[in-house]
């Protein structure tokens, strides 16, 4: 039988055809109200949600966690994250007499014992031997039973630990639903629960990186101090007092040697040898990622120490970020400047940092306020990095962007064009981001009647040619200088070679050359600074070989007075150790400071 059914176009279709269409329509199973067809998140995704709560204070919904401190003061979890006090590794810290205990699974879910002292309250981590030999300083033990999921949730919500004691009122009391609490507790159980790749019962494996184009002299300047440190550390006698920092064990004589042995052995430092592989990168930078992945597949390492390439560090930086591998102090003038990345710790921001220093210097000049500034930028890696550092910092001060004139590769600034710019625009200051070719420009400016009182250039970009500035040019030329100038390079080299703060310098020689313009001097000093920081960090890790812990302890380290830089200052989450730059002028007596250590 045909039943006439009108279609949307005014035509008729048969009932059989209609039934066929209905049968071909997709069929969904009945669902309850509000149900979703999204698959359940994997265990890895759930851990990432817990990780975000721990590190950023953000709930799975994207909203900030809510908490109270000091009893009834509401605060957003983004301002009081777990990681801000307990650190990313979850292993806690001691700072200013305030102890932040571990919050990772291996410590939370086993009994805990701390010791009170006149200096610290409830000090964790102390080996029993140290307590025994310093009983006059560490008296009363504080025991804490094993946490359960329930008692840990109660501690996070109410601030009552598993022993029934009230925690410090600066510890936030988090307002979390049961499913949110479950995510956070699960993450804490997994946090720093197994040693990171590259660590075995006998060895901690490291690697360094060298790319094509690096000269043999530069390669050796980076590699030799590292190899010396590894060899000397592996051969060092555990009883050698030079292996212990003076501020850790202050006793003397036989007791000092005994305490050194106790500390090294109990913290596991002396039980593992260090190894170092050299990963050599060939070809174009876009091929480096595949090479790095293959090296890492064959030999997982705990961290990458130093390294040196020609050009951008970005491909290596991203490899380390994606694989969560620390990279400590690579030799590069082109680091990745980022507020969010974590796994590469740079000595400085390189050329970018000099641009920052120039912006801060000019911003402090009241006589330049609202005056015209012109920026000449060579279209090169160096010029672009300097200009970016200047512009981003300058705009941060609310200043109007200067006029920028780009100098293409091979393009020379002629006297006629320079004269026209000065006559028409009458700038109060010129920034000249150019290499040795800048010398000719400076000499042309010197004879111009419209010459500004300040021209800023980069000492690093000029290189050795900065020593060729004649007296007439020296009067108005200011240089960004990102190193310390209280000593000559030779004095700094001798200081580092003879400094007995670690075994890293023992038996090694530092180059002694004229002026701070030979790259091998700088590279050698930078690498030896790395060995100083690494040795200190290995002690401070206290046998907890987790990658985030390596970066945590470096971030918590004291400021370092080292050769080459004015100072290295550290802080949790900071990625750039040397944060300043001098503005100087060249004179017969050498470099003359025209600013303080301008901090970025």
pLDDT for res 558: 76
Pull the structure tokens for residue 282.
């060939």
pLDDT for res 486: 64
If you average pLDDT over each of 126-130, 167-171, 481-485, which comes out highest?
Answer: 481-485
The overall pTM is greater than 0.95: no
Q: How far apart are alpha carbons 221 and 530 in whole angstroms?
A: 13
Secondary structure (3-state) at 555: helix
Pull the structure tokens for residue 143.
């025991």
Pull the structure tokens for residue 26.
């997709």
User: What 8-state DSSP symbol labels residue 576?
Assistant: B
* Strand 203-211 to 273-281 pairing: parallel
What is the per-residue burial (b if ≥16 Cβ within 10 Å, else e) of 16-48?
eeeeeeeeeeeeeeeeeeeeeeeeeeeeeebbe
Report the pLDDT averaged over residues 377-389: 96
- Choice between 213 and 100, residue whose per-residue pLDDT is larger: 213
The predicted-structure confidence for 424-464, as pLDDT tens digits, reads as follows: 989 999 999 999 999 999 999 888 888 899 999 999 999 98
Closest to 114 measured CA to CA, from 92, 96, 85, 90: 92
Angle, alpha carbons 247-251-253 (nearest 5°): 125
The predicted-structure confidence for 29-43, as pLDDT tens digits, reads as follows: 444 444 456 678 888
What are the E-state strand segments in 315-367?
327-328, 344-345
pLDDT for res 47: 93
CA-based torsion, 276, 282, 284, 287: positive or negative: negative
Q: Please determine, for residue 513, whether its predicted confidence score (pLDDT) is greater than 50.
A: no
Q: What one-character-per-residue DSSP string does 134-197 give? A: TTTT---EEEEPPP-HHHHHHHHHH-B-TTSPBPPTTS-EEE--HHHHHHHHHHHHHTT-SPPT
The predicted-structure confidence for 160-177, as pLDDT tens digits, reads as follows: 989 888 888 888 999 999
Yes or no: domain 351-481+585-599 corresponds to CATH 3.50.50.60: no
Q: SS in 3 state form for 355-402?
A: HHHHHHHHHCCHHHCCCCEEEEEECCHHHHHHHHHHHHHHHHCCCCCC
CB-CB contact of 240 with 516 (8 Å):
no
Q: Please determine, for residue 356, whether its predicted confidence score (pLDDT) is greater than 70.
A: yes
Q: Please determine, for residue 492, whether its predicted confidence score (pLDDT) is greater than 50.
A: no
- Choice between 152 and 246, residue whose per-residue pLDDT is larger: 152
Angle, alpha carbons 220-225-230 (nearest 5°): 120
Q: How far apart are alpha carbons 205 and 276 in whole angstroms?
A: 6
CB-CB contact of 508 with 203 (8 Å):
no
CATH class of 203-348+516-547: alpha beta
pLDDT for res 568: 87
Average pLDDT, the chain: 81
- Choice between 217 and 116, residue whose per-residue pLDDT is larger: 217
CATH 3.40.50.2300 domain range(s) in the chain: 203-348+516-547, 351-481+585-599
Q: Please determine, for residue 500, whether its predicted confidence score (pLDDT) is greater than 50.
A: no
């Amino acid at each position: 039988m045909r039943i006439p059914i009108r279609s949307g176009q005014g035509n008729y279709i048969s009932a059989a055809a209609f039934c066929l269409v209905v049968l071909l329509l997709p069929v969904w199973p009945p669902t309850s109200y509000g149900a979703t067809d999204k698959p359940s998140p994997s265990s890895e995704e759930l851990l990432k949600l817990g990780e975000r709560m721990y590190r950023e204070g953000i709930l799975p919904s994207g909203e900030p966690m809510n908490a109270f401190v000091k009893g009834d003061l509401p605060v957003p979890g983004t301002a009081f994250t777990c990681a801000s006090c307990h650190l990313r590794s979850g292993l806690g810290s001691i700072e200013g007499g305030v102890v932040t205990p571990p919050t990772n699974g291996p410590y939370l879910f086993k009994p805990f014992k701390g010791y009170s002292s006149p200096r610290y309250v409830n000090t964790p981590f102390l080996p029993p031997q140290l307590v025994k030999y310093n009983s006059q300083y560490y008296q009363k033990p504080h025991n804490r039973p094993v946490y359960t999921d329930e008692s840990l949730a109660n501690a996070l919500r109410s601030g009552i630990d598993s022993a029934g004691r009230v925690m410090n009122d600066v510890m936030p009391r988090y307002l979390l639903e049961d499913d949110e609490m479950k995510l956070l507790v699960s993450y804490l159980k997994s946090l720093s629960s197994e040693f990171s790749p590259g660590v075995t019962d006998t060895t901690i494996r490291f690697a360094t990186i060298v790319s094509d184009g690096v000269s043999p002299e530069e390669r050796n300047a980076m590699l030799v101090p590292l190899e010396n440190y590894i060899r000397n550390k592996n051969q060092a006698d555990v009883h050698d007092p030079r292996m212990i920092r003076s501020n850790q064990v202050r006793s003397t004589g036989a007791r000092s040697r005994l305490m050194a042995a106790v500390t090294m052995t109990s913290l596991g430092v002396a039980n593992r040898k260090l190894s170092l592989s050299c990963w050599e990168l060939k070809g174009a930078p876009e091929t480096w990622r595949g090479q790095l992945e293959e090296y890492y597949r064959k030999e997982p390492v705990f961290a990458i120490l130093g390294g040196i390439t020609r050009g951008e560090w970005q491909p290596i930086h991203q490899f380390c970020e994606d694989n969560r591998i620390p990279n400590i102090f690579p030799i590069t003038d082109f680091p990745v400047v980022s507020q969010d990345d974590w796994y590469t710790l740079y000595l400085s921001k390189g050329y970018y940092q000099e641009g920052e220093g120039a912006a801060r210097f000019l911003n402090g000049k009241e006589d330049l306020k609202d005056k015209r500034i012109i920026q000449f930028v060579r279209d090169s890696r160096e010029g672009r990095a300097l200009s970016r550092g200047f512009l981003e910092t300058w705009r941060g001060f609310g200043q109007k962007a200067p006029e920028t004139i780009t100098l293409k590769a091979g393009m020379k600034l002629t006297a006629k064009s320079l004269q026209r710019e000065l006559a028409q625009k009458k700038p109060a200051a010129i920034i000249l981001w150019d290499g040795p070719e800048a010398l000719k420009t400076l000499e042309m400016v010197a004879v111009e009647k419209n010459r500004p009182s300040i021209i800023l250039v980069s000492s690093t970009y000029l290189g050795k040619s900065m020593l060729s500035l004649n007296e007439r040019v020296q009067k108005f030329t200011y240089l960004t200088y990102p190193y310390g100038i209280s000593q000559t390079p030779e004095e700094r080299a001798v200081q580092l070679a003879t400094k007995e703060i670690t075994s890293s310098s023992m038996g090694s020689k530092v180059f002694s050359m004229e002026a701070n313009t030979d790259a091998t001097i700088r590279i050698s000093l930078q690498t030896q600074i790395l060995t100083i920081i690494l040795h200190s960090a290995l002690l401070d890790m206290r046998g907890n070989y987790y990658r985030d812990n390596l970066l945590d302890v470096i971030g918590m380290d004291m400021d370092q007075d080292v050769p080459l830089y004015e100072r290295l200052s550290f802080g949790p989450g900071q990625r750039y150790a040397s944060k300043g730059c001098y503005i100087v002028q060249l004179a017969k007596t050498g470099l003359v400071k025209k600013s303080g250590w301008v901090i970025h």
